[in-house]
Amino acid sequence: MKKTDFSELGPLFVSMDDEKPAAALTVSQLNSQIKQILNSAFRDGVWVCGEVYRYDLDIVKAETRPYGQVYFELVEQDPVTKERKAAISAVMWGDDRIKIYEKMSAAVSGLVLKDGLQIKAKCFVDFYPPQGKVQLRILDIEPEYTVGKMAVEKKLLLEKLQATGLLNKNKQIEIPPVPLNVGLITSVGSAAYNDFADELKKSGYSFKIYVCDARMQGPDLENEVRQAIYTFDKYPIDVIAIVRGGGSASDLMGFDKEGVAVAIANSSKPVLTGIGHQIDRTVADEVANRSFKTPTATAQFIVEQVRIFEEETENLFTRILEEKDIFLANQSERLKNISKEVKSLSLLFTQKLGNNIEQVKEKIMWVTEKLFETRYSRLDEWERLANSKKPQNILKMGFTLLYDAENKIVKSVKNISVGSKMTVELRDGKIGGTVTSKERN
Amino acid sequence: MEEKFSYSKTLKELQKILEELESENVEIDKLSDNVKRAVTLIKLLREKLKKTETEIKEIVKEFDEKQA
């Protein structure tokens, strides 16, 4: 390519003040000159920052093209309004692409060019005369820029979510104890889908899986996943699982999008992620109720919840049975003790009562005996007294009884006179006589 | 007769007789009769006492049997 000398181009710039009729160029002459100017102006190439756009659609055709070239665009959006500020066509030749891909995956394993990726590219600014179109030829890129951009974006989004309280919002939802109704968001028919569903089936529990098909990569991911989450909010679902198989870091970009993060945060159901990545956690993982490395691990966690509940219920039931036995044993022991106590107390009582009765009885006997003893002895005494008074007994002792003529007992000399008849009674008979003298003592 | 036997009445009568017997002016004529009456009364009282004692013993025995 010939070097362009701007001084030679001088007459071609038409001055509006010029009175002379202008010399006209053909379109191809013009385009050729534009091409020369552009080429010389960006002779050493230029570094351009922009977002990869319409790459994913075209890359599939690249292999069929003679130089393996891929056509796409670099765009610039307003960071706040997301409105497009500028766009430019870009082409990447097959050789350059291989070199660039190697460089990218050397920087971050799995990092590939994708729509939405922010890149810093060294470009050659070219002009394609047949279409009058400016086109960048991508020669090289600086992967560190892309990685940094991704990290910064992610960091900013996480900060924003933290500030608005969305980061931990879904984590505060408690996972129901028996999450049998599972809302699954994934690419239906994928390995991730099968792994997840198989794990639930294998458990033997009667899981009910509601599936929402969504693209798990590419630019449509954000919208489809968000829609799926909103849809599930209306269903009687216990837990939502977003799962996909392992993929490259740039494949996961959709899960770093604000739309997905906000939808997860605002979901009324606990959201689990099993996005299948090893290196880094996506924003979706950060916002989710819980995140797992694989779809299988996600399903295992859900199964585990049910299993724990079942086990706890079993244990509770066993404990209730045990408690019941212990309670009954305690109560019957208490009853036994009470009845024992009642028995011993009443025995003590009757014994005491018996003792009292015995004492009373003995007292009665004793008193009675004394009473009778006294009576008997008194009677004995009286009997002796009475007997001692018997006249016969007096006579036995040698005393005599003196009777007068009228047969009255004479007790004093005054009561009998000398010469009167008298009778003397002795122990064994009577003697008659007359009083011959009397003398007073 | 037996029904109407009163220990206390009989006792009073006996005591009266005994008082008479012990007094100075005991009627010798009545002496024999009085002594005889006194001895009879003592006999009756003793019988009554014996009977009562037996009865009481019987009651206590019955009570003992019931307790056992």
Summarize pLDDT for B23-44 with one digit per residue, the tens: 766 666 777 788 888 888 888 8
Question: Which A residues in the span 342-401 are in contact with B, Cβ-Cβ below 8 Å?
Answer: 354, 357, 361, 364-365, 368, 372, 375-376, 379, 382-383, 385-387, 389-392, 401
Residue A274's identity, in one-letter code, is G
**Identity of the residue in A354, A361, A401 whose CB atom sits nearest the CB atom of B28:** A401
φ, ψ for residue A409, nearest 5 deg: -70, 130
- Residues of chain B with C-beta less than 8 angstroms from the C-beta of A391: 28, 31-32, 35
Residue A1: predicted pLDDT: 45
User: Which of A356, A358, A382 to mutate against chain B (most B CBs within 10 Å)?
Assistant: A382
List all residues 6 or more positions away from A225 whose beta carbon is below 8 Å from its beta carbon.
Answer: A185, A214, A242, A254, A259, A260, A263
Whether residue A8 is predicted with pLDDT greater than 90 in this model: the reply is no
Q: What are the CA-CA distances from residue A124 to residues A4, A23, A136, A137 (Å)?
A: 16, 31, 6, 5
Contact A354 B39 (CB under 8 A): no
Distance CA A430, CA A386 (A): 24
Looking at the complex, report in whole angstroms how far the Cα of residue B58 sits from the nearest Cα belonging to chain A: 11
pLDDT of B1 above 70: no
Alpha-carbon distance of A205 to A216, in angstroms, equals 28
pLDDT in tens, A381-420: 888 888 887 777 778 888 888 888 888 888 888 888 888 8
DSSP output for A54-65: S-HHHHHHHTTS
Task: Name the band, by pLDDT with cuts 50, 70 and 90, for residue A111.
Answer: confident
The pLDDT-based confidence of A334 (bands split at 50, 70, 90) is very high
Residues from chain B that touch A387, judged by Cβ atoms under 8 A, are 35, 39
Distance of CA A7 to the CA centre of its chain: 82
| Average pLDDT of span A43-56 | 92
Which pLDDT does position A13 carry in this prediction?
A: 55
Bridge partners, A239 (sequence order): A182
To probe the interface with B, which of A388, A389, A408 has the most B CB atoms within 10 Å?
A389
Q: Is it the case that residue A156 has pLDDT exceeding 50?
A: yes
Measured in angstroms, the CA of B59 and the nearest CA of chain A are apart by 11
The pTM (predicted TM-score) of the whole model is: 0.54
* The Cα angle at residue A38 between residues A35 and A39, in degrees rounded to 5: 80
Tell me: the pLDDT tens digits for A224-234?
Answer: 999 999 999 98
Q: Kind and range of the H or E element at A350? A: helix A295-388
Q: Do A390 and B31 touch (CB under 8 A)?
A: yes
- A240 in Cβ contact with A183 (< 8 Å): yes
Q: Are strands A118-128 and A70-77 parallel, antiparallel or unpaired?
A: unpaired
